[in-house]
Structure 1
């Protein structure tokens, strides 16, 4: 009987997309065990690479739009456009907020932390609506912003004014002067649009566990800037609460600088786990039912991998069907041990030996192929040569 291998990796961030990771692993496995049937199923955890993974799995297309970057500079940003999302539903857009407002687009300083805006994210939402999308997947993560999604809402027609009636400047620091909010101008097409926001953190909007206090420093905010940003988020939450929209303490409201809160209020979104959203959309469970082995992986397996990352998500679903899982990574840290204890058959690094990060990045596809070939030969030998 022909063995069935499912290859379901996340991206190796910064070096290789999940479709390219899957293709490299498949090439290596075919050299080591050519008799196997292989299903390539690129995945993501709701962060970077989600659009590419879903486009590859669901026959979608990548679309490029010119938008305002986090500090107002024009830049090209990509999003995915799908005919559906794992069902017979409406056309779906997959928007990674980091594509238009990501931390890698700025030099993180106190000034940029205060000025960074999600305006470009709203421009992508509007562009997707104009292309007929009636379902939007918005991934929350990797943000440079702490504006509670106000910039996004401004791009979609909402108005936020100060005590003099002037429209607020973009960026989280300006929210401290917020006086009134007018949502009557929001794009009417949002009313007929289902929005899913992929979120894997449970922080509230503001306070000691909120967006500014927890994530502001990594975006360049110093102590005084964190205080200003938190004050602005509190003001935003209080003002909307007066209008019956009180989501300040919802788990995930503080995701992506408060964009989780903005998605709830301005887009009517439903917050959901990123990995499960992607896995359900691509039909992971259906493929696992007759699998004999799964190869998964990501760039680094460490202590964070147990908290909603793709390899452990794949493991938990594969365990339901009694399918063994091997995880491959560029870096395998000591903190990866819980993954093995949770049931991973093996956790292996694809890096052949000591070297620089640049060398590991430049050779990632060759390393993936080589490692997959060796695993295939070992697995076949252990299986009595039947592989």
Structure 2
């Protein structure tokens, strides 16, 4: 009998990490019924991070909050209070792209994310873990900072409109009323290392995913550059080239300007789960994500899990919706799209094909 840990990320927009882990395990058990199964659904700072912490940390408490969604409409969301009074706030829950009825690259905002952070601070949170994957906006975190007390003003002294649209008209920023960080600080959980500006920055790389056309990207870039310039005039010394500043449409930059630090999301969730210890006592681990590509080895869940497996001296196996890059650090890999015949079929019934992938990996083990 072997002990097998199942530690996948969610298949974004298709199935949660917990659902994927259970389906992979069910498939594996259909081939190797005597193996001991350990479920450890993962996240990397994007969608599902709140759920992963809630599962991983006994005594955590989900707190409801009413926020302004990324499209400006009110919506119900939540944040998580851990037993040590650290709050976990997930941008995808409050300002995520999955909440948009239609993409709006210039108008999507991070106001709701700021409102959830403020609610956590008002409730007495002594530290913050801020998961910023899955953003709908390219506003540099302007909406979030406004809620926390920053004043973003035009030449007439009026607040600029929300979203990136208001940034090009920004005349000055006032930070005198900006809320202080909690005593335990704020850590940003992200798997993105992009700078704020330039060809690898927030507008150029992620703007098209949020509805920006080729002619829109330079305008979005100009708004972010203006925001960075105006913050610099207040004495903020954060370099826009800092890795991770471009995460979540520049929200990484806004959080760095507030004083937060950036940490790899996968590692933070893995530590909360006790994943290193789980793998030290296991014989193999199965991980996965919706799309395994060239970025997967750089801070995303599969790359992180493979690294832990290597350190523990056990094989890591990969199940992904699609595989478009050579898997590194894995003893075996299965694509759900190949099993299903094409991507559409795999996306249409991801748990069925995740179970098939688990069975196929078990047969190869």
- State the 1:316 CA deviation: 1.4
- State the 1:264 CA deviation: 0.8
Distance 1:226 1:348 in 2: 36
User: Secondary structure at 2:105's aligned position in 1?
Assistant: helix
Distance change >3 Å, CA 71–CA 25, structure 1 → 2? closer
* Residue 160 of structure 2 corresponds to residue 168 of structure 1: yes
TM alignment of 1:84-95, pairs within 5 A: 90-95=84-89
Distance 1:299 1:208 in 2: 25
Q: Deviations over 1:61-97 (max 9, x none)?
A: 44432211123111222433332xxxxxx32322221
Q: Normalising by the residue count of structure 1, what TM-score does the alignment of the two structures yield?
A: 0.85
Q: Match for 1:354 among 330, 341, 346?
A: 341
Q: Normalising by the residue count of structure 2, what TM-score does the alignment of the two structures yield?
A: 0.89
What's 2:227 paired with? 236
Distance change >3 Å, CA 122–CA 349, structure 1 → 2? same
Distance 1:347 1:146 in 2: 35
* Contact residue 126 and residue 182 of structure 2 kept, 8 A: no
Distance 2:189 2:277 in 1: 22
What's 1:77 paired with? 77
Q: Which ranges in structure 2 are unaligned for 5 or more consecutive residues?
A: none
Distance 1:223 1:368 in 2: 36
* Contact residue 196 and residue 269 of structure 1 kept, 8 A: yes
- State the 1:324 CA deviation: 0.8
User: Secondary structure at 1:236's aligned position in 2?
Assistant: helix
* Contact residue 334 and residue 360 of structure 2 kept, 8 A: no
Q: Which ranges in structure 1 are unaligned for 5 or more consecutive residues?
A: 84-89, 380-387
* Contact residue 19 and residue 56 of structure 1 kept, 8 A: no
Distance 1:370 1:217 in 2: 33
- State the 1:373 CA deviation: 4.2
Q: Match for 1:330 among 308, 321, 329?
A: 321
- State the 1:350 CA deviation: 4.2
What's 2:14 paired with? 15
Aligned length: 362
- State the 1:98 CA deviation: 2.4
Distance 1:264 1:211 in 2: 15
- State the 1:193 CA deviation: 4.3
* Residue 64 of structure 2 corresponds to residue 64 of structure 1: yes
User: Secondary structure at 1:75's aligned position in 2?
Assistant: strand
Q: Match for 2:241 among 235, 238, 249?
A: 249
Distance 2:63 2:347 in 1: 26
- State the 1:356 CA deviation: 6.9
Q: Match for 1:142 among 117, 122, 134?
A: 134
Instruction: Tell which deviates more after alignment, 59-68 or 366-375.
Output: 366-375
* Residue 292 of structure 2 corresponds to residue 293 of structure 1: no
Distance 2:53 2:198 in 1: 35
Distance 2:13 2:192 in 1: 22
Q: Match for 1:204 among 190, 195, 201?
A: 195
What's 1:216 paired with? 207
Distance 2:40 2:363 in 1: 22
Q: Deviations over 1:141-161 (max 9, x none)?
A: 322212211110111222121
Q: Match for 1:364 among 339, 345, 350?
A: 350
* Contact residue 101 and residue 144 of structure 1 kept, 8 A: yes
Distance 1:232 1:54 in 2: 35
**Which of structures 1 and 2 has the bigger CA Rg?**
1
What's 1:40 paired with? 39
- State the 1:280 CA deviation: 2.0
Distance 2:199 2:293 in 1: 26
Q: Deviations over 1:309-333 (max 9, x none)?
A: 2122211111112101111223334
